[in-house]
Amino acid sequence: MNYRHAFHAGNFADILKHLVLAKCVEHLNAKPKPYRYIDTHSGIGGYDLAGDEAARSPEWKDGIGRLINAELPDAVESLLAPYLGIIRDMNEGDTLRHYPGSPEIATRLMREGDRLHLCELHPQDSETLDARYKRDKRVKVEQRDGYKALKSLVPPPEKRGLVLIDPPFEDKDELAHMAEAVMAALDKWPTGTFVFWRSLKNLWAADRFDNGLAEWLISEKQLAPEKILRADLWIRDLASEGKLAGAGVVVINPPWTLEEKLTAGLPWIADTLAQGDGYGWRVDGALTDEDLEDLAD
Ligand SMILES: C[S@@+](CC[C@H](N)C(=O)[O-])C[C@H]1O[C@@H](n2cnc3c(N)ncnc32)[C@H](O)[C@@H]1O
């Protein structure tokens, strides 16, 4: 386990993942009934953008650094409000030093009666995470394999909630592990909201994964197609050499307004975060019956 999120915190991929997470939590807050947030790969909860790792790999400068003080069109403001609000609260004035990890976004938006279960396998990171939240009675931190934990954590007693699966992709079979974990968890908890992050090295590989999962969900689980949403962002041509150029999220049982909000806000975000020609974005719901037939051919 060599992956350290501190090198990447606040980059374009974090922005898309974290804004979607904040929107899903905001949606759950719309009803008074308590809910649970499960983070299978939590990281350390917060990142110092002036720290060693961020200094060596300042990806945040072309990520959150470009957004935080920008003048936002209304559609973008509405999409980013809960996410940027947290970052502003964590920092003084216009200076950007602290960036929230997924557990911090969740803890800051969730209410007193809601609960969080955070898994982090790396011993030191898990200790850091535990220390960060040990006074927060809503939070349980476990040093445990998030995929294995997920099986025993769903359905949560509250029956409402959200799972974030955000692995480091160090393992070449990570997509398969992720699909397996989601399928097993959905079997036990078909109404939970699941957000999972995946890199976008090429549209074809991502399509194969997304379509395979969508096909299983629709045909085996009778999930309505509109219950699957995918959003991707790429900041330069995906075929270009070098660092990660694209990433996205797949959301199962998404808030019903999310697709429309992402479609309205992502074009501006893509323009603002672009680092070269060939950048882009896409937001789409699940496959139609026709797509599935094409896929089967
Ligand atoms: C991409 S980072 C998570 C970032 C975090 N979700 C966020 O958005 O702030 C992935 C994390 O998963 C941890 N990890 C790797 N394999 C794991 C596993 N099987 N179970 C739980 N955590 C794992 C890594 O140590 C790393 O901290």
What's the whole-number average pLDDT of the chain? 92
Beta carbon of 43 within 6 Å of any ligand 1 atom: yes
Beta carbon of 169 within 6 Å of any ligand 1 atom: no
Mean pLDDT of the 118-132 span? 98
**What are the CA-CA distances from residue 6 to residues 51, 102, 142 (Å)?**
8, 13, 20
* Residue 80: pLDDT over 70: yes
* Residue 290: pLDDT over 80: no
| C-alpha 270 – ligand 1 centre gap (Å) | 26
* Those residues with Cβ within 8 angstroms of residue 35's Cβ, 6 or more apart along the chain or in another chain: 28, 114, 115, 156, 158, 160, 161, 162
Beta carbon of 126 within 6 Å of any ligand 1 atom: no
Please list the alpha-helical segments (H only) found in the chain.
12-28, 52-56, 64-67, 74-90, 102-109, 123-133, 146-153, 174-188, 203-219, 258-273, 289-296
Give 239-256 pLDDT, tens digit per residue: 888 889 999 999 999 998
Q: What was the pLDDT predicted at 294?
A: 57
Beta carbon of 145 within 6 Å of any ligand 1 atom: yes
* Residue 158: pLDDT over 90: yes
The DSSP secondary structure of 72-125, one letter per residue, reads PPHHHHHHHHHHHHHHHHHS-TT---EEE-HHHHHHHHS-TT-EEEEE--SHHH
244 close to 199: Cβ distance less than 8 angstroms:
yes
Identify the residue whose C-alpha is closest to ligand 1 atom 4: 43
| C-alpha 246 – ligand 1 centre gap (Å) | 19
**Interatomic CA distance for residues 102 and 19, integer angstroms:** 10
* Best mutation site among 19, 41, 124, 130 for ligand 1 pocket (most ligand atoms within 8 Å of CB): 41
| The two structure tokens encoding residue 85 | 């609000």
**Interatomic CA distance for residues 1 and 296, integer angstroms:** 37
Identify the residue whose C-alpha is closest to ligand 1 atom 3: 43
Give 22-78 pLDDT, tens digit per residue: 999 999 999 999 999 999 999 999 999 999 999 999 999 999 999 999 999 999 999
| The two structure tokens encoding residue 71 | 């003048």
237 is catalytic: no
Q: What was the pLDDT predicted at 219?
A: 84
pLDDT bin (cut points 50, 70, 90) of residue 296 is low
- Domains detected in the chain: 5-296 (3.40.50.150)
Mean pLDDT of the 286-292 span? 54
Give 189-221 pLDDT, tens digit per residue: 999 999 999 999 877 778 888 888 888 888 888
